Structure 1
């Protein structure tokens, strides 16, 4: 190669290097000063690049970091070059409810797009028509009427939970248990039975089913997958680097679900589970079996992990607030002479039980960060702020639920704020609480389909536990819920408590 050619080659390399260095700098400057979102408050580092957001997400501190940003910048904050987050109650209807003057805010494909090779589910279907069709097929299995038929199945597993905990409590006078796995066992077994007519037998064997254990790791992995999607080249490389063994695990996981669904679809006996209603719907219209399989695969996690998380949070707060626990125990034990008297119909009108659950939703929302939607083409307004089409928008439930702007003594677990005689009293400091801020099941056409089932599980499990046992915190072993990391869902830590069978059981029990 001649000297001239070498000189040209060197100059070309220098040029490429300069472009590689200069482009992200110019891009960052554009994002901060000239982007259509540049007038929205937020830290410049987050506005310049998606990297601070990704770093916070992968560390599991996103909801806490964004909460601090809202404290500093206000209810509307820019947390990425093309993303704005809201800690404002008006954001819920603006984003999630249909408006006659605007197109819908569709789910952000970065977070919701189906993995390659898998059919859409009720959660991943971005197209509104497809989502509505899947929801229409599943909806009859989650009505209050269906729940009445399913109630014996719920009692079966909650009673088994009580039996297993009683065995542990009788092992010694100072018995201690970690409540987290037991609550997970219960909700997984319930969704397995209601979903497939086939329990995971977690309670029966007092351990996680191998498949349910795998689900926990996949939730954390989803944060990495979503992060890579912001950079297509990195996503391409990541997908190429996935080992065949991991791909096989996913295939086996899907096949296991398919087998369970197929087995249930061929049951000859009638039973009141969710798939029984799907079977009836299939007689009226064609339903792709792939969508059924994928939907029930995702419902296994969505229908169990979130409920178990909230139960864990509530029990953690109750054990560490003995006065609240005693008030709840008195209400439950006063209203029911025996455990068999506890029914869903009787529980729905217990004021303090419902107050505890509502305060649990406020203090430990199972989905603390509501995943983003995209502003429709042509732009739209959220909370009075105009946003260009394509902007990712999210609602900060965790931040609002703990905001002094919305709740008196916002950082304290106080179920009394939800009692009618308290929030209805104009002289009460809680009378100005903005209870409508709490939207645990979301709003609009994509609101949680399983909210009746979730409320039934919450009421039944909490009431039967406090009816049957006396719980006590362990000195020096207090879990602070606010310190838990979040990877889409909350990474729970052990909740160790002292447990013993209740000291006073009526003779007729």
Structure 2
């Protein structure tokens, strides 16, 4: 199983580094999620975990996530800035072309592997788009653009969520959470199938609470009202108007979530209908994230394996409340861009 292989390798690298001094879980989870995206989408891993270092793609990905929110709000200013003869600025603004080129390269490699019948290429997601008997609509450039989008969407999001899971569970204020979680996962063997994790209800509650407070995309998600207009909560909204909701606000509504800033997974053991309706870490409605099931698989398996393999993990002294405050450029990330842990 692709996901388990990558999760096991990532946790093994984290454990090795933690025992030698400290391990940056954000780095290793980013490599893991990127490799999973490559393997399932294109039949070939990007081999980030094996190489153990950031390549130009990862660095461009981090930059893209940082400027995404700025671009959506200040596009006119960025357009003007594109004419300035500043090398650093032009390098940043050229990010879209470079990310597209990575998608194009991935598609090109996939074609070769399909022809040679190597690895999992023939059964990968994008193999269907490259089959002329199944795809009559998308051109190669359009497929490359979709490939680039998928790589971006499947990397930072999962990595950030897993990182904040580790941060929250290992935090001294949440000792009661960790103890209960460890008691539960002790009932399941380390080699348990992913389907067996569904019995770990408290693990799912901890993951959900992590997504509530530290969901990777907590910002506004705009939607345009249909031309006929709509009535929402007795308020008429004309057609063509842009309406936005944001998980950050809804997930911290004290009328829905008691003591909303408190990390308390037990609130999900018997959630109210209002809680279920407001909970939207993956968006909602017809535009819900397409990768929600893969993301949850990675989150549950990654969280389970981490705690199972490194039960004595602790936060490093450099990992503090201040270092883990998140910056939000559409996708969040710790301000320190790392989360160091140790193993006793």
- Structure 1 regions of 5+ residues with no counterpart? 1-151, 424-429, 501-509
Corresponding position of 1:367: 217
Residues 324 and 339 in structure 2, CA contact (< 8 A), matched pair in contact too: no
Question: Partner residue of 1:350?
Answer: 200
- C-alpha separation between the residues in 2 aligned to 1:156 and 1:356? 23
3-state SS in 2 of match to 1:490: strand
Q: How does 1:156-167 map to 2 (within 5 A)?
A: 156-167=5-16
Q: Alpha-carbon deviation of 1:210? A: 1.6
Report what 1:386 is aligned to.
Answer: 236
Q: Can you give the 5+ residue segments of structure 2 that lack an aligned partner in the other structure?
A: none
Question: In the superposition, relative to structure 1, how do residues 385 and 465 fare at CA in structure 2: closer, same or farther (>3 Å)?
Answer: same
Q: Offset at 1:479?
A: 2.7
- The answer as to whether partners of 1:194 and 1:274 remain within 8 angstroms in 2 is yes
Q: TM-score, normalised by structure 1?
A: 0.60
Confirm whether residue 241 of structure 1 aligns to residue 89 of structure 2: no
- Residue 308 of structure 1, CA deviation: 1.0
Q: CA RMSD in A?
A: 2.5
Quick check: 1:408–1:433 contact (8 Å CA) kept in 2?
Answer: no
- How far did 1:315 drift? 1.1
Q: CA deviation at 1:398?
A: 0.8
Q: CA deviation at 1:415?
A: 1.1
Which aligned pairs between 1:262-277 and structure 2 lie closer than 5 A? 262-266=108-112, 267=114, 268-269=116-117, 271=120, 272-277=123-128
Q: Is the 8 A contact 2:225 2:243 kept in 1?
A: yes
Q: TM-score, normalised by structure 2?
A: 0.86
Residue matched to 1:328: 181
1:466 counterpart (300, 307, 310): 307
Q: Report the CA distance between 1:162 and its aligned residue.
A: 2.2
Q: Distance in 1 between matches of 2:158 and 2:144?
A: 22
Change (3 A) 1:241 1:375: farther
2:83 partner SS: helix
Structure 1 Cα separation of the partners of residues 302 and 79 of structure 2? 45
Residues 402 and 279 of structure 1: is their aligned pair in 2 closer, same or farther, counting only changes over 3 Å?
A: same
Larger Rg: 1
- Residue 499 in structure 1 maps to residue 343 in structure 2: yes
CA distance in 2, matches of 1:313, 1:319: 10
CA distance in 2, matches of 1:203, 1:366: 22
Structure 1 residue 463 displacement after superposition: 0.5
Counterpart CA distance in 2 for 1:482 and 1:465 is 19
The match for 1:284 is 134
Distance 2:197 2:155 in 1: 21
Q: Given that residues 316 and 495 in structure 1 are in contact (C-alpha distance below 8 angstroms), is that contact kept between their aligned partners in structure 2?
A: yes
Specify the alignment match of 1:220 in structure 2. 66
Mapped pair 1:488 → 2:330: yes
How many angstroms apart in 1 are the aligned matches of 2:274 and 2:70?
A: 37
* In 2: Cα distance, 1:397 partner to 1:355 partner: 18
**Deviation sequence 1:26-82 (CA, Å, 0-9, x none):** xxxxxxxxxxxxxxxxxxxxxxxxxxxxxxxxxxxxxxxxxxxxxxxxxxxxxxxxx
> Does residue 456 of the first structure (1) align with residue 279 of the second (2)?
no
**What does 1:20-419 align with in structure 2 at a 5 Å threshold?**
152-171=1-20, 175-229=21-75, 231=76, 234=77, 236-241=79-84, 246=91, 250-266=96-112, 267=114, 268-269=116-117, 271=120, 272-279=123-130, 282-286=132-136, 287-320=138-171, 321-336=174-189, 339=190, 341-377=191-227, 379-419=229-269
**Local SS of the residue matching 2:186:** helix
